[in-house]
Amino acid sequence: MSATPFPAAPVLQLNNVALAVADLDHMIGWYQNVLGLRVEERGHFDPVDADFAMLTGEGFRLELVSRKGGEHRPADRSAPPQHLHALGWKAIVLESSDLASTTATLVAHGVEIVWAEQRLTPTLASTMVRDPEGNLINIFGKLA
């Protein structure tokens, strides 16, 4: 790739990750009750006529946004590794200091498990789940 005559954008930092959802209240409840996120703010974006909720976790923010009356396209439910054939964002990726306990909690909540404590590298494993609308959440943890 050749250099452009324009400089790169100024230094940026991540504000949040946005997830479009069909049922805002249900999804807020799920992310609060299952993943322990907290509602930081709720409101309405007039330019796109959409309601939103900003949720916070440990070191990250997740924006849930919902627009009534539109056609909602379901999440891609391809199983790994085929999920990588559809272009675009793949998953919210989180990290746990105790993956076994996190996995047990997710199971107790009846969360849809894609895989549990799957070894990825010699030192890293993950538990991959789906939220109620089918979006992937991958939780990494160090192997003991």
Residue 5 lies in a domain: no
Residues 98 and 58 in one domain: no
Cα 60 to Cα 17, 20, 36, 139, 140, distances in angstroms: 8, 17, 12, 14, 15
Residue 132 lies in a domain: yes
Residues 89 and 138 in one domain: yes
Residue 42 lies in a domain: yes
| pLDDT at residue 111, as a whole number | 98
| pLDDT at residue 73, as a whole number | 87
- CATH number of the domain enclosing 126: 3.30.720.110
Residues 90 and 131 in one domain: yes
What is the domain range of residue 28? 14-68
Residues 19 and 54 in one domain: yes
| pLDDT at residue 2, as a whole number | 65
| pLDDT tens by residue, 100-139 | 999 999 999 999 999 999 999 999 999 999 999 999 999 9
Query: Phi and psi dihedrals of 87, rounded to 5?
Result: -70, 155
The residue from 68, 91, 106 where one domain ends is: 68
Residue 3 lies in a domain: no
Task: Choose among 36, 25, 28: nearest CA to 60.
Answer: 36
Return the amino acid letter for 12. L
Residues 117 and 64 in one domain: no
- CATH number of the domain enclosing 34: 3.10.180.10
Residue 128 lies in a domain: yes
Instruction: Please give the tally of structural domains in the chain.
Output: 2
Task: Determine the average pLDDT of the residues in 43-53.
Answer: 97
| pLDDT tens by residue, 82-94 | 999 988 889 999 9
| pLDDT at residue 1, as a whole number | 58
Residue 38 lies in a domain: yes
